[in-house]
Amino acid sequence: MNKIELQTLADEILFHIRKKPRKIFEILRLAIKFGVETDEVIRATKVLKKWGYGVRLNKNELTFLSPTDALSSTEILYYLKTKIIGKPMASFKSLKSTNDLASQMAAGCTGEGEVITSEKQTLGRGRLGRSWHSPEKVGAYVSIILRPKMSPDKAPGLSIMTALAAAETFEKYCPGKVKIKWPNDILLGNRKVAGVLTELFTKQNKINYVVVGIGININQKQTDFPQTIRKLATSLRQVSGKKINRAELTAEFLEHFEKEYKSYPKSQLGGSLKRIRAYSSLLGQTITLKTGDKSLTGQAIDIDRTGALIVEVDGEKVTVSGGEVTVVKRP
Ligand code: BTN
């Protein structure tokens, strides 16, 4: 059995034992089930150990002790209960950027809902040409390929829809502390815990595909962040006080995402506006919004069903669909 065959066997055994409530398996029975020699089951068990699973070989038995902390597709799929989003899913140990790979795949013929995840990114990208700090073992870097049947002008609202899905996921871990900073940041208190990067690709004025990427700070300690963002960033672990299972959280996020996305091509944010408004950190605040070299200051008064922010400037309502916001502190 070569390395690839052995890894495939390890994956198959894992899939089988991961979904059974019992924890002890007879090696001979596993060998019969997968049509291989018992020696090969033993070799595959060693592969599972290398992947970080707690597994013990004892005489004729294999005992499953604990899941791996890795952000692998097997682990995410173990928790995932979606129909389209994440079916299928491809997980990598290291990528330059999950958005870049998703985009390359979508330019081929990859269908709607495929998810790409990576344990780390070497060139993680943020909005406005910024980078996204993407170290291994502590975060989640996830991109979703979408092919919505709607006009391209409806795509910008997907960012805040994704932020809502993330906010509702994080609520379980940090109740009452989650905020959405329009258009694409998720905050705990006033520090950023996750960011969304939505990229739209059109063909003859129609949506060819959209890649929605999210980076989530899950188990970082404050010192894990580079100095430049240490005062601005936080993680779910820091605020909840608990180490979080990254695969489980990623699956929960994808489930929330699927629920929100189902009605989006037809009615955009119609069904979710109330919740978005409730999470918003900006509504009612005086803000300065920069788009390119233009800047305006006014009061953020609403978010509409396309995801645009409505700002009152000198008594007039201005609708803006993107930009960078800073809250103006009252003297
Ligand atoms: C931002 O806040 O500026 C957006 C950050 C988006 C980061 C994610 S991580 C997964 C995906 N791949 C990337 O290169 N970027 C997004």
pLDDT tens-digit profile of 58-109?
889 999 999 998 999 989 999 999 999 999 999 999 999 999 999 999 998 8
- Can you tell me the distance from the alpha carbon of 247 to that of 244, in angstroms, rounded to the nearest whole number? 9
Task: Categorize the per-residue pLDDT at 318 as very low, low, confident or very high, splitting at 50, 70 and 90.
Answer: very high
What confidence score (pLDDT) does residue 59 get? 84
What residues have CB less than 8 Å from 296, skipping those under 6 apart? 288, 289, 311, 313, 318, 320
| Average pLDDT of the segment spanning 28-41 | 96
| Average pLDDT of the segment spanning 176-205 | 96
| Average pLDDT of the segment spanning 253-272 | 95
User: How much distance in Å is there from the Cα of 30 to the middle of ligand 1?
Assistant: 41
Half-sphere exposure of 104 (CA within 13 A, CB side): 7
Residue 55 has pLDDT above 70, yes or no: yes
Q: Which atom of ligand 1 is nearest to the CA of 134?
A: 9
Q: Which atom of ligand 1 is nearest to the CA of 123?
A: 14
Contact residues of ligand 1, CB 6 A cut-off: 97-99, 121, 124-127, 130, 132, 141-143, 184-185, 195-197, 213-215
What confidence score (pLDDT) does residue 237 get? 98
Give the residue, out of 101, 128, 180, 197, with the most ligand 1 atoms within 8 A of its beta carbon, to mutate for a pocket test: 197
Strand, coil or helix: 270 = coil
Rounded mean pLDDT of the chain?
95
User: How much distance in Å is there from the Cα of 312 to the middle of ligand 1?
Assistant: 30
Residue 238 has pLDDT above 70, yes or no: yes
- Can you tell me the distance from the alpha carbon of 275 to that of 281, in angstroms, rounded to the nearest whole number? 12
Residue 140 has pLDDT above 80, yes or no: yes
SS3 breakdown of the chain: % helix, strand, coil, rounded to 5? 35, 30, 35
Residue ID of nearest Cα to ligand 1 atom 3: 126
What confidence score (pLDDT) does residue 330 get? 64
What confidence score (pLDDT) does residue 38 get? 96
Task: Categorize the per-residue pLDDT at 293 as very low, low, confident or very high, splitting at 50, 70 and 90.
Answer: confident
Locus of tokens 């922010």: 309
